[in-house]
Structure 1
């Protein structure tokens, strides 16, 4: 026989379960925009970044000041800073420092804009059309893993030693990641949204502009950030031949005369410009695609 519940006796109150350590650490409480599920916010990330930079500078200063590494191989931060001030005031090879910066920036961003104007529409078309994907996917995938130094001689043979060969070399290094990123972004659009747009009478161009392009924007912006990084990486190779101005030319010329402080200074300037543009692209992402990473 089964025992019948006594109506006069109240039901036992279930005892609350103790939360484990993981559930307490990952309590979902967002106090600031971008801070969810225990993930550090932007302020914490900035402090960690500053601490990381300070740590690297301290280790750099320590190993050079203690004499563990000879100045020929790694000059100290003070020597690099003094070299920067000297080149800022007196220039390098009778050319002002800002002119070197302007020439390299024009080459990289000129090639980057050209790659975006061609690569983004091409990638979107490849994502939407099997015919276009079948035509352009093999050549892009073929040359994409080839280092720019490998086809630099061809650029010189075909376009000479002027600006055209330099910009074309940087353009080719940026084109592949931008086009492939745009192609991958097309897959982010849900097929239900596309069918719904067509059912409401939208044209193919309207579906592209109002459904596919907004869905692909996060991938496109990420591909642009990756592409500009490839552009700065290729800059030194592009300025190896018959260049008299530019940051890459300055680094290569200084390395031939074992001016290590100038080499490191040029590398830091290139990295600073590239990082500043990356921060700008992150700000554009937060403004244009605020839903990225929150879905």
Structure 2
């Protein structure tokens, strides 16, 4: 008996199996990081090569070194000049992120309410859905001028523009998720005496959360893509306003720097939203 137990322990050592998946996931994660770093290096090398071949003027295509110098210049004080237009790059980006955060918050909140009403009340869906689709198809600049006429050129039209841009994706995703909630679970809850409100909170919303979270990510991305449009008027300080000002003076290095700042911060925001999604909706893809 002892010999059999010893042989079993040799053939299946305890603790070995749980560690292997963890090591495999870690190795896979590092491989992905390595591939991304390599791809970034290749793109930078190609960029430098195109600049060295002088196919286009440096005004049209600055070198990576020129963009790096613009980063240093806009992040420091040089000969008494503070950053770009009196503000550091981080200040421009921070103010824009504040606008996006506030506008996205209003847009997501409105989209959740509208989506829930559309999903639970058929007559609301019939009345409201065409207008939500109408707003979703409008480019931000199409109604920004009207918002300026109504609200002036201060912060209000920018926040409203970002909020209006963020609302439709959340409303559409929420309505679709609510309508697609499992009918058997809804009927079971109603059979047990749950009211419409209790059924919505206890059954429909947990089922709809994965799709709603996707709608929120899309909404924030659309709001961010509308940033430059929102900051075309009186956008300084702000990263979109910085890009517009640099474009007026043919400062392509500052324009490209601003695009990198928007893109990288957008990646970080999306990663943060995905992390929140994994915490709030851990059952996504499992049920």
Using the size of structure 1 for normalisation, the TM-score is 0.83
Instruction: Tell me which of 40, 55, 75 is aligned to 1:88.
Output: 75
Equivalent residues of 1:32, 1:41 under 8 A apart: no
- The answer to whether the Cα contact below 8 Å between 1:127 and 1:184 also exists between their aligned partners in 2 is yes
- Aligned twin of 1:212: 204
Q: Could you say which residue in structure 1 is the equivalent of 2:54?
A: 67
Partner Cα distance (1:274, 1:227) in 2: 12
Matches within 5 A, 1:17-166: 32=21, 42-90=29-77, 91-166=83-158
TM-score by length of 2: 0.85
Partner of 2:226: 234
Contact kept in structure 2, 1:144 and 1:176, CA below 8 Å:
yes
Unpaired stretches in structure 1, ≥5 consecutive residues: 1-30
For residues 184 and 96 of structure 1, do their structure 2 counterparts lie closer, same or farther at Cα, with a shift above 3 Å needed?
Answer: same
Query: What is the deviation of 1:254?
Result: 0.2
1:26-50 superposed Cα distances (whole Å, 9 cap, x missing partner): xxxxx748x99xxx95444433333
Partners of 2:207 and 2:122 lie apart in 1 by 19
Shift of 1:238: 1.0
Q: Quick one: which of 159, 180, 198 aligns to 2:172?
A: 180
2:243–2:255 Cα contact (<8 Å) kept: yes
User: Helix, strand or coil: the match of 2:76?
Assistant: helix
Deviations 1:173-207 (A, max 9, x none): 11111111111111342000111111222222221
Distance in 1 between the 2:226 and 2:166 partners?
A: 9
Deviation sequence 1:211-251 (CA, Å, 0-9, x none): 11111111111111111111111111111112331000000
Rg comparison, structure with higher value: 1
Corresponding residue of 1:12: none
Determine the structure 2 residue equivalent to 1:275: 267
Q: Do 1:251 and 1:266's aligned partners in 2 also have CA atoms closer than 8 Å?
A: yes
Determine helix, strand or coil for the equivalent of 1:218. Answer: helix
For the structure 1 residues 199 and 44, does the alpha-carbon distance in structure 2 shift closer, same or farther, using more than 3 Å as the test? farther
Number of the residue aligned with 2:283: 291
Q: CA deviation at 1:68?
A: 3.3
Aligned match for 1:168, one of 157, 160, 164: 160
2-side partners of 1:217 and 1:41: how far apart?
Answer: 28
Whether the aligned pair in 2 keeps the contact of 1:108 and 1:167 (CA below 8 Å) is yes
Distance 2:189 2:39 in 1: 48
Question: Where in structure 2 are there 5+ consecutive unaligned residues?
Answer: 1-19, 78-82
Give the 3-state SS of the residue equivalent to 1:158 in structure 2: helix
Could you tell which deviates more after superposition, 97-106 or 220-229?
A: 97-106
Contact kept in structure 1, 2:235 and 2:242, CA below 8 Å: no
- 1:51 to partner: Cα distance: 2.9
| Matched pairs, number | 261
More helix by share: 2
For residue 137 of structure 2, give the secondary structure of its aligned residue in structure 1.
Answer: coil
Alignment match, 1:20? none
